[in-house]
Amino acid sequence: MPTQEEMKAVLRAYVDGFANDDAESVIALFAEDAVVEDPVGTPEKRGLEEIGKFYRDAVASGAKLTLDGPPRGSQGNGAAMAFTIDLPALNLSIKAVDVFTFDDAGKIAVMRAYWGPDDMKST
Amino acid sequence: MPTQEEMKAVLRAYVDGFANDDAESVIALFAEDAVVEDPVGTPEKRGLEEIGKFYRDAVASGAKLTLDGPPRGSQGNGAAMAFTIDLPALNLSIKAVDVFTFDDAGKIAVMRAYWGPDDMKST
């Protein structure tokens, strides 16, 4: 199981990948058979092919993430962070919470994102 | 399924219950057979008896919650919030993210809390 510090470093690398327009660095954080539900209530993306496409599109959109406070750990293999997504090209800002479960190798096994229509704002 | 507004009102009522030292108002937000994992990685509390004891103890401890930004919804029956727990009697402050799943009646069916040893600070 990854340490709390290792999980939080992954969450920060996830934010940094968007900042650096580096989708591949974000995708490399995920396990081969990872599951992404973004946002919760929409169909899951499963495996690196689907997840890779999702993050390549997201990073290409120009999305930038700003943490709303520090990432949180747990007593197990889970971690979470609250942040704001800015999408300047769409004049949109989204408030989200992402929740992560890690595998023993320290890769993201599951990511579920909490944001809905009411969490988007024109900027 | 509850609306996004209804779920967020429940999250705010959860925070308010601590502010008002009113454990019963917090417990009333949960379904009869709800599950609480607080924090993630510790044994689940199941059903209103175990959950009731947990929140009566938590509110009696003097814990107060301050939101770190607005609660987040989803495209489904999930919502989440990041907040800071102040425990003046213990000179402790804890950064947490709580994630909620709702049943069709708008009651909390599952709550999982993300915070670990590294998310606590002496105050």
Give residue B3's pLDDT band: very low, low, confident or very high (50, 70, 90).
very high
In this prediction, residue A12 carries a pLDDT of 98
Q: Residue A56: which CATH number? A: 3.10.450.50
Average pLDDT over residues B63-89: 97
pLDDT in tens, A66-117: 999 999 999 999 999 999 999 998 999 999 999 999 999 999 999 999 999 9
Secondary-structure breakdown of chain B: helix, strand, coil percentages, each rounded to the nearest 5: 35, 35, 30
Pairing of strands B30-37, B108-114: parallel
Task: Say whether B99 and A116 touch across the interface (CB within 8 A).
Answer: no
CA B97 to chain centroid, in Å, comes to: 9
**Which chain A residues are Cβ-neighbours of B78 within 8 angstroms?**
40-41, 112, 114
Average pLDDT over residues A16-27: 98
Which domain does A97 fall in, by range? Answer: 4-122
The answer to whether B100 and B11 have CB atoms below 8 angstroms apart is yes
Task: Say whether B70 and A95 touch across the interface (CB within 8 A).
Answer: yes
Burial classification of residue B89, based on how many CB atoms lie within 10 Å of its CB (0-12 exposed, 13-18 middle, 19 or more buried)? exposed
| B116–A contact, CB cutoff 8 A | yes
Number of folded domains in chain B? Answer: 1
